[in-house]
Amino acid sequence: MKTVTHPAPARTREKLLAAAADVIGADGWAAVTMGKLAAQVGVSRQTVYKELGSKAELAEALVLRETDRFAERVVEVVAAHPGRPVDGVTAAFRCSLEAARENPLLEIALGGRQGGRDDFLPLLTSRPEAVLGRAVETVAALFARCYPEVRLTPSEWAVAVEAFVRLLLSHLMQPSGSAEHASGQMRWVVGRMLGP
């Protein structure tokens, strides 16, 4: 007799988040239902609610997942620019901007598509600690570790990174040109902040 094994909760949760991201990419936030996610992953609706909670909690989990991926991309970019903080920070900004402009979850969060703004937008505006705080803490620690030649304290790095992330969000919400143009402006800002 074949033994049936059930996936670990963390794996089930990740599968559900991936399924939700797929639905959003194809059909938008309004198309996401707990029943649809349950069917795609092969679990009960009760399991979906147990793993994800409400639809608003699903929105938060998805945005936090993307925030963690943002931080992972920054780690990779910074690793390619050792000892060159202005180049590394500017490259991280450009990579993040380009990735975010192609990300349907961030497009919805910033109001680019209908149907998701009510659940997503508060995570970036009225409740910024969920996204902004997490990104700032992770990236500031990374920059401080990778660029010790920059004479900023950890708290000063946090202020600088928060400014960088807010500029990134501004360019996403109100783009005024290409990623190259925005990155050129950012390079000037970074050079002034991190220069001697």
Please, which pLDDT band fits residue 118 given cuts at 50, 70 and 90?
low
What is the dihedral sign for C-alpha 100, 146, 137, 76? Answer: positive
Provide the mean pLDDT of the chain. Answer: 82
Alpha-carbon distance of 40 to 4, in angstroms, equals 19
Which of the given ranges, 21-30, 59-68, 125-134, 179-188, has the highest pLDDT on average? 179-188
**44-61 confidence digits (pLDDT tens):** 999 999 999 988 888 888
Domain-by-domain residue ranges, the chain? Answer: 1-53, 55-194
- Nearest Cα to 59, choosing from 112, 1, 6, 131? 131
The yes-or-no verdict on residue 72 having pLDDT over 80 is yes
pTM over 0.95: no
Residue 55 confidence (pLDDT): 86
1-53: CATH class? mainly alpha
| Class level of CATH domain 55-194 | mainly alpha
The pLDDT value given to residue 129: 64
